[in-house]
Amino acid sequence: MKIVAFIPARYQSKRFMGKPLALIAGKPIIQHVFQRSKECPELDEIYVATDDLRIYECVNEFGGHAIMTNEGHQSGTDRIAEAAEKINLADRDIVVNIQGDQPIFQPSILSDLIQALIEDPAIHMSTLMYKIKDDQELHDTNKVKVVVNNNGYAIYFSRLPIPFYRDEKSKAIHYKHLGLYAYRKEFLLSFTNLSYGLLEEAEKLEQLRVLEHGFRIKVVETAFDSIEVDTPEDIKMVEQKLLYLKQP
């Protein structure tokens, strides 16, 4: 069984055009993501899946591997599904979806993500959650929240704070969803062929499509947060974080 990671990357973006090529501490964001991914010992191969020649050439220049995909994909999941088919992965191989806008993630979170599928052959999809410590994130609709059942499977994902604590004396605990995924290749292809659902349309969260169709998502709690670059203004914040991480 192979474990292969794909980093979907597109140049066109309404909020941040050319984001994968934007420089952070002198290196493109996509290079930071690729190099951190290489520190995960479980990964056999890593590819950037893109529809833009500029990104493709950039990846080759820093010594990475890239695959050109079609322009018309609606999501990064659709893009990596095409890439996974192009390299002829077996049905039970594990495909890891690493977001291309998270340049300083802790590589061990990929191990957390992958281990769930290695340990239990019945699991076909996994993702991550992190305990929210900042109330500002709790009420930020760009930060997706998740609730799970007693076996660690997702009940629901939402942009609003869930669960709602009616009793103000209750000790409120909330979890943020980190948008990294691992799938068995056969399930990834099935997922991309599922019809859209009402919940997905309402929240604009594609993982809800899985739940609406009756499939399960294993959610693993990780001890490390992962910061996204959404706008050009986020770059300075990430550079400051990098300086902090490099301190002895």
At 245 the pLDDT is 62
Bridge-based pairing state of the strands 66-68 and 218-221: unpaired
Share of the chain above pLDDT 70, in %: 98
Task: Reply yes or no on whether the pLDDT at 123 is more than 70.
Answer: yes
**In which band, very low, low, confident or very high, does the pLDDT at 242 lie, cut at 50, 70 and 90?**
confident
Nearest to 83 by CA among 104, 62, 66: 66
Give me the residue spans of the domains in the chain. 3-128+177-246
The secondary structure of residue 76, as a DSSP letter, is H
- Number of other residues whose CB lies within 10 A of the CB of residue 166: 6
Burial of 202 (0-12, 13-18, 19+ CB in 10 A): exposed
Report pLDDT for 246. 59
Length, in residues, of the chain: 248
pLDDT in tens, 48-82: 999 999 999 999 999 999 999 998 898 999 999 99
Residue scoring higher pLDDT (209 or 168): 209
CATH top-level class of 3-128+177-246: alpha beta
Question: Model-level pTM?
Answer: 0.93
